[in-house]
Amino acid sequence: MGQVFSSRRPPLPPQKIEAAGSSSDTLPEDIPWSTSSALDGLLTLTKAKGHYWYPNDGSRILDACGGAGVACIGHGRKEIIKAATNQMKECSYVSYAHFKTNAVQELSDWLIESTGGAMQKVYLMSSGSEAVEAALKLSREYHTWRGEPQRVNFISRSESYHGTTLGSLSASGHHTRRAPFSPLLSPTNFHKIPPCNPYRQPSSSPSEFLAARIAELESEFQRLGPDTVAAVLVEPIVGAALGCVPPVPHYLSALRSVCHRHGALLIFDEVMCGMSRAGTLHAWQSYNAVPDLQTIAKGFAGGYCPASALLVGSKIASLMTAEGKTFTHGHTYQNHPVVAAVALRVQKVIQEEGLLRNVQVQGRLLERLLTERLGGHRHVGDIRGKGLFWGVEFVKDRETKEPFEVEKQVAMRVFRCAMKSHGVLVYAGQGCAGEGKGDHIMVMPAYDVTSREVGKMVERIAAAVEEVLGR
């Protein structure tokens, strides 16, 4: 998916951000970009090395977001190239229906162990959307095995992004990404509750805030009929749709209690926030809440190949084993041996080099520097995140939290200015204030980022924010 979530449009002419009222808020010439897979209009990338991108206009761009939160150990690592080549020599492809391979077995064993056995089965796929789609379908099929075919409803949140396929997009709340397809997205089976976003949901106390969020879920169960709900799907830390918003304490475990009381499953979509991005290998490990199903992708193979997985919790897996049930689902490239070899090697590099610890240490530095440099800016409403997963939300007015007008494309302008004038790549998004409004950028450096690079990123990002929005 591209950086900002509207349909393709011609490049904006250089213009002023009226609300900023600064003397230097004229944008430099636009950088072309595309939200589709069409290639026209984009710069050609001739090289990516370490933490830098090298497009064909001669620039060298510091990567502060791993593309879409993917390139987590930098580019061009020889050990990963070797793992891919060795696997290709041994077996470059096999249908998951015909044989298993050592590569997939080793990766599955490693993943299951990484969850302390909470997850018991692994389906290896290519994209996050595929993993989410599979999670929705397996939830449904699980209930049919248990003799509860009436469980046809899914509950997710209004500001969320779970993927681009019709099922995963039906579960997503992201206004702009849904808009062109809304007649095709099932309103019958997919239902939304509000997000968990303390910045935009006023409350008199943390306990009142938590109680309100849980009451919203409970009332949705009651509205639908508790025994019709198959699963609740949430991102533990909301990525593209909200800009790195972590849950409040006890929120995820309270969701789990409500789901289980009503016989529904809990799915955590960790496509963006998982695989060490937020300072623990699995995001749920920070929150004492184990899901029934979990999706992973992005940092899983660090971008060295397309890799995602559905992890199946012990409750579902043990029923499958005990009753010999198989999931009616499969892709041509499922359990791809090269994907498995590469993903496992990426995870081993993260382990061998102690990069999870680096995520925690550099994450604290990133938080401190972003707060020092941008926390007082009159158009920065909120800075939030965890590990190396940080979002900066822009507002027109800090007091009222009023967002900028959508057409001003503020996050997009910061992104362009950062890339063109300050040589740093960030991930821009819109919709964090609800109904497509609200601008944010996401900062998601590689796990092997150095303190010096973190400092450089924040300086360059802050300079871009000031150039676009004034001081």
Please state the closest distance from residue 305 (CB atom) to ligand PLP, in A. Answer: 12
In the bound state with ligand PLP, the residue whose beta carbon lies nearer, of 271 and 339, is 271
Give buried/exposed letters for 300-320 (b at 16+ CB in 10 A, else e): bbbbbbbbbbbbbbbebbeeb
Please state the closest distance from residue 199 (CB atom) to ligand PLP, in A. Answer: 19
- Choose one: 18-26, 112-120, 252-260, 264-272; the region binding ligand PLP (CB under 6 A): 264-272
Question: What is the gyration radius of the CA atoms in the chain, in angstroms?
Answer: 22
335 lies in the site for ligand PLP, by CB under 6 A: no
438 lies in the site for ligand PLP, by CB under 6 A: no
Please state the closest distance from residue 270 (CB atom) to ligand PLP, in A. Answer: 7
Please state the closest distance from residue 462 (CB atom) to ligand PLP, in A. Answer: 25
Please state the closest distance from residue 31 (CB atom) to ligand PLP, in A. Answer: 21
128 lies in the site for ligand PLP, by CB under 6 A: yes
* Residue of the chain from 87, 101, 108, 129 that contacts ligand PLP (CB under 6 A): 129
In the bound state with ligand PLP, the residue whose beta carbon lies nearer, of 122 and 320, is 122
- Choose one: 124-132, 135-143, 320-328, 383-391; the region binding ligand PLP (CB under 6 A): 124-132
404 lies in the site for ligand PLP, by CB under 6 A: no
Nearest position to ligand PLP, beta carbon: 128
Contact string 214-253 vs ligand PLP (x = CB under 6 A):
---------------------x---xx-------------
- Choose one: 39-47, 82-90, 123-131, 314-322; the region binding ligand PLP (CB under 6 A): 123-131
Q: How far apart, in whole angstroms, are the C-alpha atoms of residue 369 and residue 5?
A: 28
Contact string 270-299 vs ligand PLP (x = CB under 6 A):
-xx------------------------x--
Q: Which of residues 55-74 bind ligand PLP (CB under 6 A)?
A: 68
Q: Which of residues 139-178 bind ligand PLP (CB under 6 A)?
A: 161-164
- Choose one: 34-42, 78-86, 267-275, 375-383; the region binding ligand PLP (CB under 6 A): 267-275
In the bound state with ligand PLP, the residue whose beta carbon lies nearer, of 271 and 346, is 271
Q: Which of residues 296-325 bind ligand PLP (CB under 6 A)?
A: 297
Applying CB under 6 A, which residues contact ligand PLP? 1, 68, 127-129, 132, 161-164, 235, 239-240, 269, 271-272, 297
